[in-house]
Amino acid sequence: ASGNLDGSQFTFVRQIGQFDVLTIATTGSIARGVLQNKPRDNAHASVVVGGQTKVRLANSLGPNSWLMAGNSGFAVAAGSGQVLLGQLIQGATSGAVGTMIFDISQAGSL
C-alpha cells in the first residue's frame, strides 16, 4: 500500500506503479480492485481483481444495482455511460458492507 489504508477495507483501489495501490479519490474513476485488508504504509495490500467480494457502500443500495467508484473508494450507483465496476448481489445500508461481483469488463455499458 502507498499510504495508510487501514480505514479503507472493502473500498475500490487504483494501482500506482507496479506494487502500490491507493484508494480511489475521484468519483467515476476506474479501479484495479477492492481492498480486502487494512494495510499500513508500505505493507502488503490484498486486492480482489475479479469475482465476488465485499464492498463498502456510500449510500443504501439494493441487490442488482450497478456500481461505480465514489469518493474515497466507496461504491455508489452507476448511471448510463459511467465506468461500471460490477453489480451488487447483496445490498446494504449507507456505510455498511454489501456483496458484489467485481467485473470491469462491463465498463460503460449501461
**pLDDT value of residue 87:** 95
Q: What percent of the chain has pLDDT over 90?
A: 76
CA angle 32, 96, 65 (to 5 degrees): 65
All three cell numbers of 41, joined, read: 504504509
**pLDDT value of residue 106:** 62
Q: Are 55 and 99 in contact (CB under 8 A)?
A: yes
Q: Quick check: 66 pLDDT over 90?
A: yes
The secondary structure of residue 75, as a DSSP letter, is: E
**pLDDT value of residue 104:** 81
Q: What is the pLDDT of residues 71-108, one digit of tens each?
A: 999 999 998 888 899 999 999 999 999 999 999 876 66
Burial letters 33-72, b for 16+ CB under 10 A, else e: bbbeebbeeeeebebbeeeebbbbbbeebeeebbbbbbee
Q: Quick check: 9 pLDDT over 70?
A: yes
